[in-house]
C-alpha cells in the first residue's frame, strides 16, 4: 500500500511552491515523483500541429516534484502530517495520521 495516492490533499514542504496546498493529480512510482494540481508550474514551448488541432505557443503545465517534498495535509490540525498504517480487526490495512491516529480515508 502506498502512503500518497491520487486525489490526496497535500502541502508542499520545499521549493518554489513552499507552503501551498493542492490535490495530487498523478503519482509516478518508478521515479518517486508526484504531480500536484496547480503547483510547480513550468512553461513549455509547443509546436503547432493543425492535424491534431494544437495551436502552438507557450503553454503552462504542472511539472512533477519529488514525493519527499510533499506531505499529506491533516484537516483536523491544519498542518502537514506523516502517514502510517494500521491493520484493522478484519485484516484490512488502512492509512492513519501519525499525530492523532485518525483514519485518512
Distance CA 36, CA 31 (A): 15
3-state secondary structure of 55: coil
Mark out the alpha helices in the chain (DSSP H runs): none
- How much is the pLDDT for 67? 92
Name the residue ranges covered by the structural domains of the chain: 9-74
- The CATH code belonging to domain 9-74 is 2.30.30.30
What pLDDT tens digit does each residue of the chain (105 aa) get?
588 999 999 999 998 889 999 999 999 999 999 999 999 999 999 999 999 988 989 999 999 999 999 999 999 888 999 999 999 889 899 999 988 888 887
Q: Say what the pTM is.
A: 0.81
Q: Identify the pLDDT of residue 1.
A: 58
Amino acid at each position: 500500500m502506498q502512503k500518497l495516492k491520487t486525489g490526496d490533499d497535500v502541502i508542499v514542504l520545499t521549493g518554489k511552491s513552499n507552503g501551498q496546498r493542492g490535490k495530487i493529480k498523478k503519482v509516478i512510482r518508478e521515479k518517486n515523483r508526484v504531480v500536484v494540481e496547480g503547483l510547480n508550474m513550468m512553461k513549455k514551448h509547443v509546436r503547432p500541429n493543425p492535424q491534431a488541432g494544437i495551436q502552438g505557443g507557450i503553454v503552462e503545465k504542472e511539472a512533477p516534484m519529488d514525493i519527499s517534498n510533499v506531505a499529506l495535509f491533516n484537516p483536523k490540525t491544519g498542518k502537514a502530517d506523516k502517514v502510517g498504517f494500521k491493520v484493522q480487526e478484519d485484516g484490512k490495512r488502512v492509512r492513519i495520521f501519525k499525530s492523532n491516529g485518525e483514519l485518512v480515508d
